[in-house]
Amino acid sequence: MSGDSEAGAGKDAGAALRYVCYGKEKESPHLPAIRRLISKDLSEPYSIYVYRYFLYQWGELCFMALDPSDNVIGVIVCKLEPHRGGPLRGYIAMLATRQEHRGKGIASKLVRMAVEKMREQDADEIALETEVDNIPSLRIYENLGFLRTKRLHRYYLNGNPAYRLVLYLKPGIPYKPTYPPEMMPEDGGGGGGDPLHESAGLMSEDLMARQAAQMRIENVEGERHDGMRGPP
Amino acid sequence: MPVNEAGEGPSTTAASETDKHAGLGHANAITRLQQEAMAFRRRTLRNITTDFTVAAKQLQPGELVKDEFFTLFEAVGALEIMDPKMDSGYIPPGDTLDPDFDPSVGLEAGEVIWIMDQLLCLEITWLEGHPLSQTVYTSLHINRLLSPDQRHSDSFHINPGPPPLRTNQDTLVHTVLRAYCIGMIKSSQLALHLIQSQTYFEEEDFVTHLFGRELLPKIDSSAAADSLLEAICWLETCGIAGGLCPALLQRCKFCLDLLRTLAGDAQRWQDMLLDLDQIKDSHHLGSPIPDAFSEKVQRQLATSTPPRPTIQISLDAAHSKWTKLCQEMLSAYELTDSDAIDNSHCLERAVWAFAYRTQPETLARAQMQDLLFSNHAVRGQMPHYDLMLTDLKSLVLAGDPLSNPEIFQIELPTDPRHACSALLREFMEKAIEEFMALYRMVYQNRCRIRRLFTQSIGIWDELQREADAIDDGLRQYPLSSQVLNSGYARTNGPLLSWARYHTSQVLVWTVQLGFETEIYLPDELSKMYWYLSALCTYRNLVIESMLRALLERKRRVRGGSRDAADCVASQQLLMSLLDASKVTESLAAALWKFYYLLGQTGIIKSPKREFAKPDLLHEARMKSYLNVPAGFVTIDLPPADGYESAVEALEQHQTGSHSMKTTTFQAIDEDLKAAKSSLAALKKYTPEQGGYVGTEAEWKKEIKQIETTCVAVAVGLSTLKRLGEKYGDGQRLGLQGLVECALERKYHVWWVIPQLKEKAAK
Ligand SMILES: CC(C)(COP(=O)(O)OP(=O)(O)OC[C@H]1O[C@@H](n2cnc3c(N)ncnc32)[C@H](O)[C@@H]1OP(=O)(O)O)[C@@H](O)C(=O)NCCC(=O)NCCS
pLDDT digits (tens, 9 = 90+) for A38-61: 999 887 788 888 898 899 889 999
- Minimum CA distance residue for ligand 1 atom 27: A136
Between A126-130, A173-177, B577-581, B618-622, the lowest mean confidence (pLDDT) is in A173-177
Alpha-carbon distance values, A222 to A129, A182, A185, A219 (Å): 15, 9, 15, 8
Among the residue ranges B99-108, B427-436, B556-565, B623-632, the one predicted with the least confidence is B623-632
B522 Cβ contact partners less than 8 Å away, ≥ 6 residues apart: B595, B604, B741, B743
Q: Residue A216: which pLDDT band, with cuts at 50, 70 and 90? A: very low
Residue B306 sits at the chain A interface (C-beta within 8 Å)? yes
Q: What is the mean pLDDT of residues A4-27?
A: 67
- pLDDT at residue B22 tops 50: no
Specify the range with the lowest mean pLDDT, choosing from A177-186, B147-156, B218-227, B576-585: A177-186
Please list, in sequence order, all residues whose beta carbon lies within 8 angstroms of the beta carbon of residue B215, skipping any fewer than 6 positions away: B146, B185, B186, B188, B189, B192
The average confidence (pLDDT) of chain B is 88
**Residue A232 has what pLDDT?**
54
* A173/B203 Cβ within 8 A: no
CA distance B270 to B257: 10
* Cα–Cα distance for residue pair A104/B656, rounded to 1 Å: 50
Among the atoms of ligand 1, which is closest to the Cα of residue A94? 48
Please state the rounded mean pLDDT for residues B632-638: 58
**Domains of chain A with CATH codes:** 18-213 (3.40.630.30)
pLDDT digit string, tens, across residues B220-266: 999 999 999 999 999 999 989 889 999 999 999 999 999 999 999 99
When scoring B125, B373, B447 by the number of chain A Cβ atoms within 10 A, the one with the most, hence best to mutate, is: B447
Q: Which of A20-34, B125-139, B723-737 has the lowest mean pLDDT?
A: B723-737
Write down the mean pLDDT value for chain A.
78
Contacts of residue B51, defined as CB under 8 A and 6 or more positions apart, other chains included, come to none
**What is the mean pLDDT of the segment spanning B365-382?**
95
According to DSSP, the β-strands at A162-168 and A147-152 are antiparallel
In the predicted model, what is the mean pLDDT of residues B515-544?
96
Name the region of B505 (left: φ>0; alpha: ψ -120 to 50; beta: rest). Answer: alpha
Name residues whose C-beta falls within 8 Å of residue A36's C-beta, 6 or more positions apart in sequence.
Answer: none
Which residues neighbour B111 within 8 Å (Cβ) at sequence distance 6 or greater? B286, B287, B288, B289, B292
Closest-approach residue (CA) in chain A for B61: A27
3-class SS at B314? coil
| Å between B373 CA and nearest CA of chain A | 10
Instruction: Assess whether the C-beta atom of A39 lies below 6 angstroms from ligand 1.
Output: no
Mean pLDDT of B374-390: 95
What is the pLDDT, as a whole number, of residue B13? Answer: 29
User: What single string gives the DSSP state of each residue in B664-690?
Assistant: HHHHHHHHHHHHHHHHHHHHT--HHHH
pLDDT at B475: 84
Task: Say which residue, B246 or B650, is predicted with more confidence.
Answer: B246
Maximum average pLDDT range among A177-181, B20-24, B629-633:
A177-181
Residue B111 has pLDDT above 80, yes or no: yes
For residue A18, the cross-strand partners are A66
Q: How far is B89 from chain A (nearest CA, A)?
A: 14
- Among B61, B75, B204, whose Cβ lies nearest the Cβ of A49? B75
Closest CA to A120 of A17, A8, A21: A21
Q: Is the pLDDT of residue B16 over 60?
A: no
Q: If residue A149 lies in a helix (H) or strand (E), which one and from where to where? A: strand A147-152
Looking at residue B316, its pLDDT comes to 98
Least confident of B468-477, B485-494, B684-693: B485-494
Overall average pLDDT of the B12-21 stretch: 33
Q: Is residue B1 scored above 90 in pLDDT?
A: no
B478-494 pLDDT, tens digit each: 665 444 454 555 567 89
- Per the CB < 8 A criterion, the answer to whether B431 and B396 are in contact is no
**Res. B621: pLDDT tops 80:** yes
The pLDDT score that the predictor gives to residue A218 is 45
What is the distance between the terminal CA atoms of chain B, rounded to a whole angstrom? 71
Q: ipTM score of the complex?
A: 0.87
What is the per-residue pLDDT for A172? 93
| Helix extents (H) in chain A | 31-40, 48-58, 106-120, 135-144, 195-200, 204-213
Q: State how far the Cα of A188 lies from the Cα of A190, in Å rounded to an integer.
A: 6
Q: How far apart, in whole angstroms, are the C-alpha atoms of residue B479 and residue B422? A: 13
Alpha helices, DSSP H, located in B16-62: 22-41, 49-57
Give the pLDDT score at B488.
59
Q: Calculate the alpha carbon distances from B427 to A156, B419, B421, B430, B629 in Å.
A: 42, 13, 10, 5, 21
Lowest mean pLDDT among A58-72, B199-213, B633-647: B633-647
Contacts of B567 (CB under 8 A, 6+ apart): B398, B399, B550, B553, B554, B557
| Contact assignment for B620 to A147 by CB distance below 8 Å | yes
Band of pLDDT at residue A184, cut at 50, 70 and 90:
very low
- What's the pLDDT band for A5 if we cut at 50, 70, 90? very low
Which of chain A's residues have a Cβ under 8 Å away from the Cβ of B62? 26-28, 31, 52, 55-56
DSSP string, B131-172: -GGGTGGGBHHHHHHH-GGGTT--SS-SSSSPPP--SHHHHI
Query: Is residue B20 packed enough to be buried (19+ CB in 10 Å), middle (13-18) or exposed (0-12)?
Result: exposed
Q: What are phi and psi of A148, to 5 degrees?
A: -80, 120
Instruction: Locate the ligand 1 atom nearest the alpha carbon of residue A128 and give its number.
Output: 48
| pLDDT at site B733 | 59
pLDDT at B152: 75
SS (H, E, C) B197-237: CCCEEECCCECCCCCCCCCCCCCCHHHHHHHHHHHHHHHHH
Instruction: Report which of B231, B192, B191, B235 is spatially closest to residue B210, judged by C-alpha positions.
Output: B192
CA gyration radius for chain A?
A: 18
Confidence of residue A14 (pLDDT cuts 50, 70, 90): low
Q: Which residues pair with A63 in a beta bridge?
A: A21, A76
Say whether pLDDT at B297 is over 70: yes
Segment B690-736, tens digit of pLDDT:
999 999 999 999 999 999 999 999 999 999 988 888 876 545 556 77
CA dist B709 and B525 (Å) reads: 16
- Rounded Cα gap, residues B666 and B678, in angstroms: 18
B244-262 vs B109-127: helix crossing angle, rounded to 10: 30
Most confident of B308-312, B319-323, B722-726: B319-323
Q: How large is the average pLDDT for residues B576-602?
A: 96
3-state secondary structure of B583: helix
Q: In terms of Cα–Cα distance, which of B474, B483, B453, B499 is closest to B633?
A: B499
Whether A189 shows a pLDDT value over 70: the answer reads no
B642 vs B616, residue with greater confidence: B616
* Chain A positions in Cβ-Cβ contact with residue B308 (cut-off 8 Å): 44, 213
A136 lines ligand 1 (CB under 6 A): yes
- For B:501-520, CB contacts with A below 8 A are 517-520
Model pLDDT for residues B341-364, shown as the tens digit of each residue: 899 999 999 999 999 988 899 999
Q: Rounded distance, CA B243 to CA B241, Å? A: 6
Tell me what pLDDT residue B9 has.
31
Indicate if ligand 1 lies below 6 Å from the C-beta of A41.
yes
CB burial class (10 A; 0-12, 13-18, 19+) of residue A189? exposed
User: What pLDDT sits at residue A220?
Assistant: 38
Mean per-residue pLDDT, B555-569: 92
Q: How many residues does chain A have?
A: 232
- Per-residue pLDDT band for A203 (boundaries 50, 70, 90) equals very low
Tens digits of residue pLDDT in B495-519: 999 999 999 999 999 999 999 999 9
Taking the C-alpha atoms of residue B367 and residue B384, their distance in angstroms, rounded to an integer, is 17
d(CA B651, CA B667): 11
| Residue B618 confidence (pLDDT) above 90 | yes
**Rounded to a whole number, what is the distance in Å from the CA of B64 to chain A's nearest CA?**
7
Nearest CA in chain A to B198: A231
Higher pLDDT, B397 or B636: B397
For residue B150, give Cα distances in angstroms to A198, B139, B157, B231: 32, 15, 9, 22
Mean pLDDT of B576-604: 96
Query: Is B648 at the interface with chain A, CB within 8 A?
Result: no
